[in-house]
Amino acid sequence: MIDPKKIEQIARQMQEAMPKGIREFGEDVEKKIRQILQSQLTKLDLVGREEFDVQTQVLLRTREKLALLEQRMAALEAKAANSDTAPQHMPEQQ
């Protein structure tokens, strides 16, 4: 979720950037800007920093497991290729 203090800070900055005539409406303008910001930000598909960090760790572990599986697969494929090309021992005939 978006930090309400950040929204207030952005709303205040936007109000300060407005022409003086509009700024004279003061608190009403800041309140309206804050409402609009909150409304628009909730429509975005955002995740919190904590969830982002957790998912980053999950992704790193998954990549590590994938790398290990790829190594094992390559080793098994190499072993299978060697056993296919190795000369087969034929029983001696007498």
The pLDDT tens digits of the residues spanning 33-56 come to: 788 888 887 788 778 889 999 999
**DSSP character string of 15-35:** HHHS-HHHHTTTHHHHHHHHH
CA 19 to chain centre: 39
Burial class (CB in 10 A: 0-12, 13-18, 19+), 38: middle
What was the pLDDT predicted at 1?
56
Which whole number is the average pLDDT over 69-81? 94
pLDDT reading at 79 higher than 80:
yes
> What residues does each domain of the chain span?
9-44, 47-82
pLDDT reading at 92 higher than 80:
no
